[in-house]
Amino acid sequence: MLQSRFVETVVGIFVATGLAALLMLSMKVSNLSSLATDNGYVIRVHFLNIGGLKVRSPVKMAGVPIGRVSRIYLDNKTYDAVAELLIEEEFDKIPLDTLASIYTAGLLGEQYISLNPGGEESFLKAGDEIRMVSNAVVLEEIIGQFLYSKAAEGKDKDNDL
């Protein structure tokens, strides 16, 4: 009887540990593990295409997380996608001529914004916009271009005969 209770306790601890690990994994994948505080400043970036970028996606500089995407919306005048970035207060020396790019990380395809600083001596402040951007690469467009070029090659070979 005593050994049976011990086995049940060990199995219970094992199941609880497994559930806690699943919870941690799900929070990590959904970017809920590091809920950003509202301490910081907001800058905007206009993109032609944001791909699969989502609110709470990380903003990184040199691979170091410096903020999060706080809002994404469509500009009704230019029809650009606008991403508002909440940058942490301690990163207040980002040059005006910074390049913003959308990259994909990991096997799950998480997208994030990477900031590559320029050489300007003036810095971004709350409400500023990053003007230099590199839009998201959409895999479907690349595959379509590849297939179109292969089809065109086949047509040219048929005309040569």
What would the pLDDT profile of 20-29 be if each residue is shown by its tens digit? 998 888 777 6
120 with 74, same domain: the answer is yes
Locate 139 and state its tokens: 């895999």
Residues 2 and 59 in one domain: no
Same domain, 130 and 95: yes
Is residue 119 one of the residues assigned to a domain? yes
Residue 132 · residue 95 · CB < 8 Å: no
Confidence of residue 107 (pLDDT cuts 50, 70, 90): low
Residue 102 resides in a domain: yes
pLDDT for residue 37:
56
Residues 47 and 81 in one domain: yes
Fill in the DSSP letter of residue 40: S
Domain that holds residue 18: 1-30
| Residue 56 resides in a domain | yes
Within-domain flag for 68: yes
- Spatial CA neighbour of 93 closest among 122, 129, 119: 122
Q: Is residue 147 part of a domain?
A: no
Residue 113 shares a structural domain with residue 65: yes
DSSP structure string for 78-114: T--EEEEEEE-TT----BTT-EEEEEEETTTTEEEEE
pLDDT value of residue 110: 83
Q: Domain tally for the chain?
A: 2
45 in a structural domain? yes
pTM of the full structure: 0.67
Residue 15: how many CB atoms within 10 A of its CB? 10
Question: Domain check: are 2 and 48 in the same one?
Answer: no
- Distances in whole angstroms, Cα of residue 135 to Cα of each of 42, 50, 103, 113: 20, 7, 9, 10
DSSP code for 30:
T
